[in-house]
Amino acid sequence: MTPAFLFATGIENSAPTIQQGRLRVDEMEKCGHYRYWRQDFDLVQELGIRFLRYGPPLHRVWLGAERYDWQFADETFSELQSRDLVAIVDLCHFGVPDWVGNFQNPDFPELFAGYAEAFARRFPWVQLYTPINEMFVCATFSALYGWWNEQLSSDQAFVTALKHIVKANVLAMQAILKVRADAIFIQSESSEYFHAENPQAIKPAEIMNARRFLSLDLNYGQRVDSEMYEYLMDNGVTRDEYHFFLENRLKHHCIMGNDYYVTNEHRVSADGTTRASGEVFGYDEITRQYYDRYRLPVMHTETNLKEGTQGDEAVNWLWKEWANVLRVRNNGMPVVGFTWYSLTDQVDWDTALRENNGRVNPLGLFDLERRIRPVGRAYKQLIEDWREVLPTQSVCLRVPIVLPSEHQEPWAQKKRAAARNSNQALPTAPATNDQGE
């Protein structure tokens, strides 16, 4: 029987390019996953975790249009299936193969949809997907901040990257649904807030607080705010491109996964520059803002904090984030899961992967020697304490998920057939107002 609450962790497959494309930052390589992947899966099970945000390294698998090297994916996903671990498959995490170029490439959406369909056909037992991770962050860091991939810094480059990334996500969802009609898509998107630090900063903060919704507005086929409509049109989005998103609403297949770190809130100066504010509102208040906009089930899909000199900083952050998740739930929002990200420490996260320093950041449930950290022990205990409590208190926490071992069960096949019939009968819903209702 599927657990009713999705306690999860992740193994990050980030692979952006830096230094004008000369160097690829492959987090799976830096963190040793290619060598220790079986042991990493052992660690997931040791914690009592059933759900794993995981995906093959896109740049190693996707060799060209309709050309793939599935060797590593076959090995790892066969192991996940045999262990009955539920993968939330992360198909594209911050980078594309060299032959694609970058997110300015207008062919990327259709090409990526082909890859997504090929993956779904090869691994038909996979049900949960994050086609493209943190679409807003990916476009921002690649084309507005100039840190990754195309390394551009303009509104037009940002909008171009964003429209291509979100269109790729939508087309990938459509392609996967052709193969797996009961697929569920968990968007992992950064949840942001921008605080004006003086009256002159109110206007730039308002613009940034509107812009933070763009990726999900487009992905869910929701009409953007009027100022953002002008922003999109002024920076290269055509009416036909905009209406593509309005006419391809798949939000009924989606869970709104949102990520929250201590760096997700910002102070805005009068000149529009920003700096980290630290936690001001916190996860519960910012999640309420996103939920009020999209009215979808919520999953907390990423958080972490560095283990510092006291040794309990990450443990305290875990407790705080979990308290926020419970508050969100108790305020009536359907919360279906929580994730500490990632399983192991990361490398060069302290520079957002834009520098190749080889610096290990103590953010994981385990260190890179695969030794458990205090936050790993605390998370294991949290799961033991709460996994049987939450389902008994609210039926809204149930998600219709089929475990890998249940894929061929008659009831599961019947469920997929019903989903196919429902998808064929359901017309694409138009976006009718700013709240998507």
Q: What is the pLDDT of residue 434?
A: 44
Residue ranges of domains in the chain:
6-425
Q: What is the pLDDT of residue 230?
A: 98
Q: What is the pLDDT of residue 437?
A: 37
Class of domain 6-425: alpha beta
Q: What is the pLDDT of residue 123?
A: 98
Counting as low any pLDDT under 50, the low residues of the chain are 432-437
Per residue in 380-426, pLDDT (tens digit) is 999 999 988 876 665 555 567 899 999 999 999 998 998 888 888 66
Threshold 0.75, pTM exceeds: yes
Q: What is the pLDDT of residue 415?
A: 87
Instruction: Give the C-alpha separation, 377 to 170, whole Å.
Output: 38
Q: What is the pLDDT of residue 1?
A: 53
Q: What is the pLDDT of residue 324?
A: 98
Structural tokens at position 226: 């009027």
